[in-house]
Amino acid sequence: MATSIHYNILTSPAKAAAFMFVLLLLHTACKAQLTSTFYKNSCPNALSTIRTSIRNSIAAERRMAASLIRLHFHDCFVQGCDASILLEETPSIESEQTAVPNKDSARGYRVIEKAKSEVEKICPGVVSCADILAVAARDASAYVGGPSWTVMLGRRDSTTASRTLANSELPSFTDGLDRLISRFQSKGLSARDMVALSGSHTLGQAQCVTFRDRIYNNVTIDAGFASTRRRGCPAVGGDSNLAPLDLVTPNSFDNNYFKNLIQRKGLLESDQILFSGGSTDGIVSEYSRSRAAFSSDFASAMIKMGNIEPLTGTAGEIRRICSAVN
């Protein structure tokens, strides 16, 4: 009987078209989509409340802007954009916060928790931590002079985290170009997206332990730049000493990061590798000449990154606090 039905559908163009249309509707219904107006009715003041909270936090510490963008990035690369990075250690959860790429370097957890508490006051149990983190990254960029973009909303929060995936899937400061491109491509992001997203390093800082070998042993680095960096990063000790990734305008979201790479002044090896005779040299050169091109591509890449495997519909939950499951 099933064979007969299948045969009739396939041999009738009208029936086949109708059948495919039904399948499409079912697929669309099962795969909830993010939308910029998700909280329009359920929490109309959510975005303005988040924005005010994030701005206050960055006003108190400007470095926090880079930290929030990085936190969103590190969240999305592990299990998708599900706020798993915000979950703290419990007997049943191995927190991503203690993974090597995050330990003693990822920041902003309390800033997101503060924004969540403010939203909970007006709309309890409605807005996810994953969405708050995505909005916070956008607001952080805009507050320090970077691009803004429309954040797609409707993510839900995970009830799990994975330290193992955080250790294996997040980029490392020792990665070569091919490895970096492969990591981003596995998340649906192109090499151009990767270079654009790396431009947020113009706001960031790095620990001495991550660039010591480069400033003492790399012969291709600009000599004056290396000498300057050695003052705050001794050959022995001082592992946690911080240095801005952009020496020129460390507090502004601009394209100086790319100009620095062309001058061989990339602090991390994984930064300089973007301009080292490889396939991304042309993109770096373009961004160094055009802040507008960089800003536009950065915004587009952030939107794409924010769409990595979100939990939607009835998957996951809406946490009451971001650091723990309900």
Residues annotated as catalytic are 74
Please state, in angstroms and rounded to a whole number, the distance separating the CA atoms of residues 249 and 125: 40
Q: Which residues contact 39 (CB under 8 A, 6 or more apart)?
A: 46, 47, 123, 126, 127, 131, 153
CB-based contact 240:193 (threshold 8 Å): no
What b/e sequence results for 230-243 when a residue is b if at least 16 CB atoms lie within 10 Å of its CB, and e otherwise? eeebeeeeeeebeb
Structure tokens at 247: 């020496």
Which phi and psi angles does 100 have, rounded to 5°? Answer: -55, -45
Task: Using CB atoms within 10 Å of the CB of residue 201, give its burial: 0 to 12 exposed, 13 to 18 middle, 19+ buried.
Answer: buried
DSSP string for residues in 96-158: GGGSTTTTTT---HHHHHHHHHHHHHHSTTTS-HHHHHHHHHHHHHHHTT----PPPB--BB-
Which strand (E) or helix (H) includes residue 55?
A: helix 46-60
Contact 199, 146 (CB under 8 A): no
Sign of CA dihedral 209, 77, 171, 167: positive
Q: Are 298 and 142 in contact (CB under 8 A)?
A: no
DSSP secondary structure string for all residues of 176-232: -HHHHHHHHHTTT--HHHHHHHHGGGGG-EEEHHHHHHHHHH-TTS-HHHHHHHHTT
